[in-house]
Amino acid sequence: MANNELTNLEKSLNLHFRNRELFENVFIHRSYLNEHKRYHLPSNEKLEFLGDSVLSLITSIYLYKNYPQLKEGDYTDIKAAIVCTESLTLASKKLDLGNYLYLSKGEYKSGGRNNINILADCFEALIAGIFIEFGFDRAYQFVIDHLFKDKLDLIISKKLYLAPKTRLQEISQARFKVVPVYQLIKTTGPEHDKTFTIQVSIKNKKLAVASGKSKKDAEEKAAKIVLNKNKI
């Protein structure tokens, strides 16, 4: 990759890495080294490992400072929601990090630049790179600007960190003073590999049907369908 491409990314992030190898290392996927075994840098896996820990600490501090009214259990659920692969991938895509990845030809052809796990890992590796080069405060601000901004407040205000069944129950109780009713419609498959189909209703109104490998899984899926389609 041309060095000026990484420079363009630095400009968009308002950062300048003196340690150029560290910055480059953020984007080296392990597949690239399979075809370039003598490359002078390792994969970004160690940076991703460090970035995961830094991100966890940043999230904990941010929640503790900005949402003191919430309980410890809420912090845990919110943290899981905001640092999930989906959120990290979305943040990575907004920064076009996939364009800077060093990939093998095979990984590139199979869509590696849009692979959700690769993009999420790269975002965490970038957090680590910023932490090493600029310190915790810059890493903290980077996460706020590119991961938390707008999204975290929405997750908390809408209680999107709660499991679908819990969210649906809270909405149902607030609006109708009743809880949703989950009914087993059918069970299919052999004893060791059953599939359960569940129907969810509120005030005798059938709202959604879903299947899963356990009753709980099917119930959560049914509740999620109701929430996603705004059926109540």
Query: Do residues 81 and 185 share a domain?
Result: no
- 124 annotated as a binding-site residue: yes
Query: Do residues 146 and 173 share a domain?
Result: no
Query: Do residues 184 and 122 share a domain?
Result: no
> Rounded to an integer, what distance in angstroms lies between the CA atom of residue 218 and that of residue 69?
32
> Rounded to an integer, what distance in angstroms lies between the CA atom of residue 120 and that of residue 98?
10
- 121 annotated as a binding-site residue: yes
For residue 15, the SS3 value is: coil
Q: What is the pLDDT of residue 3?
A: 56
Overall number of domains in the chain: 2
Query: Do residues 112 and 37 share a domain?
Result: yes
SS3 content of the chain, % helix, strand, coil (to 5): 60, 10, 25
- The CATH number linked to 104 is 1.10.1520.10
Q: Which residues are the active-site residues? A: 52, 124
Please give the single-letter amino acid code of residue 89. Answer: T
What angle is formed at CA 109 by the lines to CA 108 and CA 112, rounded to 5 degrees? 40
Residue 102's DSSP bridge partners are: 28
> Rounded to an integer, what distance in angstroms lies between the CA atom of residue 180 and that of residue 207?
10
Predicted TM-score (pTM) above 0.85? no
- 21 annotated as a binding-site residue: no
Residue 2, token pair as written in the block: 């041309």
> Rounded to an integer, what distance in angstroms lies between the CA atom of residue 115 and that of residue 109?
11
Query: Do residues 191 and 149 share a domain?
Result: no
Query: Do residues 169 and 153 share a domain?
Result: no
| Final residue in a domain of this structure, among 140, 157, 174 | 157
Query: Do residues 61 and 153 share a domain?
Result: yes
Query: Do residues 88 and 54 share a domain?
Result: yes
State the DSSP string of 136-163.
HHHHHHHHIIIIITTHHHHHHHTTTTS-
Task: Domain of residue 215: give its range.
Answer: 164-228
Query: Do residues 10 and 101 share a domain?
Result: yes
| Final residue in a domain of this structure, among 157, 174, 191 | 157
- The CATH number linked to 186 is 3.30.160.20
From first to last of its 232 residues, what are the pLDDT tens digits of the chain?
A: 545 688 889 999 999 999 999 999 999 999 999 999 889 999 999 999 999 999 999 999 999 999 999 999 899 989 988 999 989 999 999 999 999 999 999 999 999 999 999 999 999 999 999 999 999 999 999 999 999 988 898 889 888 888 889 889 988 998 999 999 999 999 999 999 999 999 999 999 999 999 999 999 999 999 989 988 876 7
Query: Do residues 140 and 192 share a domain?
Result: no
What is the β-pairing status of strands 181-188 and 195-202? antiparallel
